[in-house]
Structure 1
Amino acid sequence: MKKIALSLVSLAALAGLAFGAHAADYPQKDKVITIVVPFAAGGPTDRVARDLSEALRKPLGGATIVVDNASGAGGSIGANKVARAAPDGYTLLLHHVGMATMPTLVRNIPFKVESDFEYLGMVNDVPMTLIGKPSLPASNFRELTTWIHQNKGKINLGNAGVGSASHLCGLLFQSAVKTDMVPVPYKGTGPAMTDLIGGQIDLMCDQSTNTTSQIEAKKVKAFAVTTAKRLTIPALKDLPTLQEVGLKDFQVTIWHGLYAPKGTPADVQKKINDALKIALKDPEFIKRQESLGAVVVSDKRMEPAEHKKFVLSEIAKWSPIIKAAGVYAD
């Protein structure tokens, strides 16, 4: 019995050494690191992921990094894919505020946000913009609110799907202006933006990373931003904040964070976090994000523990809002 017990201990020790050696060699040259994005290609989160993958390559020793779009069910399909992946650092998740809304929004969610992931650090904060179709008969927010109240129950409010950033912002906006609108969910921001430009829907509230170029090209009408202060980038600097035009305490910032499956070795987590901190200081990455209105994280939320603390506080913030709206992503 003692011999068997000793043998098992020895095998466990050898397995640990083997895994430790693997972790020390991370990332291996012949292995691809996949960043899973739980939304469609071409959308705002996808853009952040592709910019980040470029910035991470050098600090991760020239590793090959690819983006895998696995959309659906309020972002939970892609998140579950990562939660169930091998905890070796080669499958990561880039997710936005959906990490905080899924526990309430998605019925029978197959994982626990709080305990099935390793938190690797925050990436950015992205403001939202309230935009309308080009033919909308309003040129400023005051005229927009008049038009909204004149057309109660007739206004089509587009979003990128239940649980998306645009959906959440839209819920808050309807509540703030005390007017119900007709929600029009799409499979991603791309098709929603196409229909907004074409006039098939009336309004949308979406991330500046997706709307700035359309606003700049005057393909849509822009009415306000959701930040506490006005933005400084040229295309958005003249837009008022929603608080400024009378919607008290209306502030929505969509953030992005990086995650790994639970059980990823601590030293692999540290390597990724160290690389992330370098990537977040990359001038080209910062330039790309700032050109779209996003602010790259430079505070303590870069640290895994603070990242997790922040997400838990966001769960507490969004849960009552979603429950009050009575919406769910199946």
Structure 2
Amino acid sequence: MASLLTRIARATTLCFTVAALSTAWAAGETVTVVTPLAVGSGSDVALRIVTDKLSAALSQPIVIDNQTGASGAIGAEKVARATPDGNTLCGCNNAILGVLPHLRKVPFDPAKSFKPVGMVAVLPTALVVNPSLPVNNVQELIAYVKANPGKVSYASGGVGSAQHIAMSMLEVATGTKMLHVPYKGASPAAVGVAGGEVQVMFNAIGTVLPLVKAGKLRAIAVAGAQRTPAMADTPTVAEQGVPGYDYASWIGLVAPAATPDDVVNRIAGELTKVLRNPDTVKRLADNGIDPSVMTPTQMRDYMAKDHARMAKVVADAGMKE
């Protein structure tokens, strides 16, 4: 009997706690979106555009907190350990949730530490080169790398970053090998290629497009399965003789695992409306970003599949920190 009464008491306490958390969240407290990504990166830009409108839709102040370090593990752990009341979310991408756990032990579990809220955006990725590199397409790049072993370098935002993954996939698919030069973020990496410190890289179109338009970078391919409106005349990697190549980074919102479903569903519902708002779509498109609408359940399934896919990519590339 005592055991039964104890269980009832615990269940009652849990119900009151969940109700209190939901009420507190609805009271207009500031929501912090921790993102382990650098200010000015494509993912950061997408988050700021979307959360600006999401704040208005929820009547909740939302601030972005860029917590970089340890390849994203610091920021992700902060959210995983945060009070599960809806006031702390993570703006995480596939490099953090899909790749990093395969590179080393991390203080969170992508599937168990978080509750998916919804996808925010897919960031179409471009393969760009410094204009001094004598290549104009993927096949010319492959031939140049093979003819100049050990002499071609590529930039990324760090080991296990979206840029690193995209290039590793190309190396495996084409039997090439270049020198990896990791920078502290995708934006500094793009500047490094434009300045001639490194010759080539994959990066979010929104990040490199201004440099392409300025003539400081040359775009020779896009990484996704289809061409993207932001670079409509630029063919995909697959179109240029690398069948099956398909890569795009994504950014989404997740909450601490114990966050009440009613809170998550409210945010998710408003997020869907924001992502379908024509002004949001235009603002994202102007930055080379595509909105991506998913329910929490759809995002959970997508994350699981992406996690499994990235395990194979990391293994095939022999990727190590």
Q: CA deviation at 1:8?
A: 8.8
Secondary structure at 1:125 match in 2: strand
Determine the C-alpha separation between the residues in 2 that align with 1:218 and 1:171. Answer: 26
Q: CA deviation at 1:44?
A: 1.4
The partner residue of 1:239 within 230, 234, 237 is 234
1:309 maps to 2:301:
yes
TM-score, L = length of structure 2: 0.93
- Residues 318 and 8 (structure 1), Cα distance of their counterparts in 2 relative to 1, 3 Å cut: closer
CA RMSD, 1 decimal:
2.1
1:118-164 per-position Cα deviation (integer Å, ceiling 9, x unaligned): 11111222221000113222233343333222222111110000111
1:225-246 per-position Cα deviation (integer Å, ceiling 9, x unaligned): 012222223xx11111111110
Determine the C-alpha separation between the residues in 2 that align with 1:312 and 1:22. Answer: 28
**Could you tell me which residue of structure 1 aligns to residue 41 of structure 2?**
43
Q: Displaced runs of 4+ in structure 1, greater than 4 A?
A: 4-12
TM-score, L = length of structure 1: 0.90
The partner residue of 2:316 within 302, 308, 324 is 324
Determine the C-alpha separation between the residues in 2 that align with 1:305 and 1:203. Answer: 37
Q: CA deviation at 1:174?
A: 1.5
CA contact (8 A) 1:75 1:163 kept: no
Q: CA deviation at 1:41?
A: 1.3
CA contact (8 A) 1:118 1:261 kept: yes
1:123 maps to 2:113:
no
Determine the C-alpha separation between the residues in 2 that align with 1:317 and 1:217. Answer: 36
Determine the C-alpha separation between the residues in 2 that align with 1:126 and 1:104. Answer: 22
1:206-239 per-position Cα deviation (integer Å, ceiling 9, x unaligned): 1112122222222211100012222223xx1111
Q: Quick check: which one's helix share is greater?
A: 2
1:71 maps to 2:68:
yes
1:138 maps to 2:138:
no
Q: CA deviation at 1:325?
A: 2.2
CA contact (8 A) 1:134 1:219 kept: yes
Determine the C-alpha separation between the residues in 1 that align with 2:243 and 2:11. Answer: 59
- Residues 15 and 127 (structure 1), Cα distance of their counterparts in 2 relative to 1, 3 Å cut: closer
One-letter identity of the residue aligned with 1:76: A
One-letter identity of the residue aligned with 2:258: G
Q: CA deviation at 1:261?
A: 0.3
**Could you tell me which residue of structure 2 aligns to residue 278 of structure 1?**
273
Determine the C-alpha separation between the residues in 2 that align with 1:97 and 1:134. Answer: 30
Tell me how many residue pairs correspond in the alignment.
320
CA contact (8 A) 1:86 1:261 kept: yes
**Could you tell me which residue of structure 1 aligns to residue 192 of structure 2?**
195
Which runs of no fewer than 5 residues in structure 2 stay unpaired?
none
One-letter identity of the residue aligned with 2:26: P
Determine the C-alpha separation between the residues in 1 that align with 2:139 and 2:13. Answer: 69
Secondary structure at 1:179 match in 2: coil
**Could you tell me which residue of structure 2 aligns to residue 104 of structure 1?**
102
